[in-house]
């Protein structure tokens, strides 16, 4: 079982420089050099003490909350994490740097294409990400199984989104369960909740790119994956990393000047207006931002969203947790670094 990151237990005072060096060394030892792309903004929240978003569901636009179209989550417990570990603190916070992740590094033939035609941004995909995933279903041999027994397999399928190329502001509206956007690696973006109405990023065990499949096989994220860091270099304003279903762009964790975005920097829907790079031009336009704190991406829609149909529910049949018998994917047999 991997961890998102580790920060050593500091019981005595050490200098800031030594702390940073130790942190970098541990990242390299745990994840390899690719982990160095993970650089939380210093002005953002403490990733070791992120407030858990449980209960922060609203029935109107509200900063730091998710305006969910569904507000009732009673009844039998749905699939998802069934236990918590020591990354959940006693003070209603969680430690993202020590949260476990699902084993595996699986590469899929992700197909993702964007064209603009007749004022529409047409996005075609096969529902597979272009970044690696973990092994799903979660194997009983994976230590993550002790916390989350996700039984779902990742499945491909034809998907087309027709978003407005130049979206317009509208009255804020609630977000549905499930897909609220799509990222530029082809992965689907879901809202911040799991099927039980809890903070999915805090509780569910995901892979090292912070994704996992739901019961129809759709691989998705509940936050902006750190595997998109390679598309967001530099120290200034973050790059465009995806689109919400209302057509507005979703940018990374950095604001103008490189400051890490927090809920207090953004409006009730988790965005704001200022000039950004939009289709190759600096354009004054509304856009969403990622934050390290709940609701992570979209708190409500600020434009007019399109309606998307969910894929059909697959027949339930056992599948191996690796790609040995699945011609759609390729496994990286290197150690789980």
* pLDDT number for residue 5: 55
Residue 228 has pLDDT above 70, yes or no: yes
What integer best gives the mean pLDDT of the chain?
83
In contact, 239 and 232? CB cutoff 8 Å? yes
* pLDDT number for residue 233: 80
pLDDT digits (tens, 9 = 90+) for 94-143: 999 999 999 999 999 999 999 999 899 999 999 999 999 999 999 999 99
Residue 177 to residue 53: CA distance in whole angstroms? 16
Alpha helices in the chain (DSSP H): 16-31, 200-203
Residue 11 has pLDDT above 80, yes or no: no
CB atoms inside a 10 Å sphere around CB 283: 14
List all residues 6 or more positions away from 162 whose beta carbon is below 8 Å from its beta carbon: 120, 121, 122, 123, 306
CA distances to 5, 67, 173 from 191, in Å: 23, 10, 14
Residue 328 has pLDDT above 90, yes or no: no
Binning pLDDT at 50, 70 and 90, where does residue 310 land?
A: confident
Domain locations in the chain? 43-337
Q: What 3-state DSSP class applies to 242?
A: strand
Mean pLDDT for 294-315 is 88
Residue 146 has pLDDT above 80, yes or no: yes
* pLDDT number for residue 274: 96
Instruction: Say which range, 144-153, 170-179, 204-213, 224-233, has the weakest mean pLDDT.
Output: 224-233
Binning pLDDT at 50, 70 and 90, where does residue 6 land?
A: very low
In contact, 290 and 255? CB cutoff 8 Å? no
Instruction: Say which range, 84-93, 269-278, 298-307, has the weakest mean pLDDT.
Output: 84-93
* pLDDT number for residue 2: 62
* pLDDT number for residue 40: 45
Percent of the chain at pLDDT exceeding 70: 77
Phi, psi of 306 (to 5 degrees): -80, 165
Torsion of CA 54, 59, 63, 66, to 10 degrees: 50
Residue 320 has pLDDT above 90, yes or no: no
Which is nearest to 205 in space by CA: 157, 127, 155, 152? 152
DSSP string for residues in 84-120: --TTB-TTSEE-TTT-EE----EE----EEEEEETTE
Residue with tokens 């989104």: 161
């Amino acid at each position: 079982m991997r961890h998102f990151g580790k920060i050593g237990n500091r019981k005595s005072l050490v200098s800031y420089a030594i702390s940073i060096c130790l942190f970098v060394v541990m990242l390299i030892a745990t994840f390899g050099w690719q982990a160095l792309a993970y650089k939380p903004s210093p002005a953002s929240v403490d990733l070791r003490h992120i407030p858990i978003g449980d209960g922060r569901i609203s029935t109107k636009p509200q900063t730091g909350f998710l305006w969910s179209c569904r507000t009732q989550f009673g009844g039998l417990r749905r699939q998802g994490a069934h236990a918590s570990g020591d990354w959940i603190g006693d003070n209603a916070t969680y430690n993202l740097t020590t949260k476990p992740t699902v084993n595996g590094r699986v590469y899929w033939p992700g197909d993702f294409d964007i064209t603009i035609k007749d004022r529409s941004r047409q996005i075609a995909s096969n529902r597979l990400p272009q970044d690696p995933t973990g092994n799903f279903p979660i194997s009983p041999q994976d230590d993550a199984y002790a916390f989350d027994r996700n039984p779902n397999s990742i499945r491909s399928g034809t998907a087309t989104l027709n978003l407005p190329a130049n979206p317009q502001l509208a009255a804020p509206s609630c977000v549905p369960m499930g897909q609220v956007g799509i990222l530029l690696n082809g992965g689907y973006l879901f809202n911040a909740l799991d099927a039980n109405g809890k903070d999915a990023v805090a509780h569910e065990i995901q892979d090292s790119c912070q994704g996992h499949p739901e019961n129809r096989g759709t691989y998705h994220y509940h936050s902006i994956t750190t595997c998109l860091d390679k598309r967001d270099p530099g120290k200034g304003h973050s790059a465009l990393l995806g689109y919400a279903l209302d057509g507005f762009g979703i940018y990374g964790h950095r604001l103008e000047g490189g400051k890490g975005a927090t809920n207090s920097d953004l409006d009730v829907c988790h965005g704001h207006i200022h000039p950004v790079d939009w289709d190759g031009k600096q354009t004054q336009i509304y856009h969403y931002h990622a934050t390290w704190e709940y609701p992570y991406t979209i708190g409500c829609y600020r434009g007019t969203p399109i309606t998307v149909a969910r894929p059909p529910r697959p027949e339930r049949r056992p599948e191996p947790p690796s790609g040995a018998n699945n011609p759609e994917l390729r496994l990286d047999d290197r150690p789980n670094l």
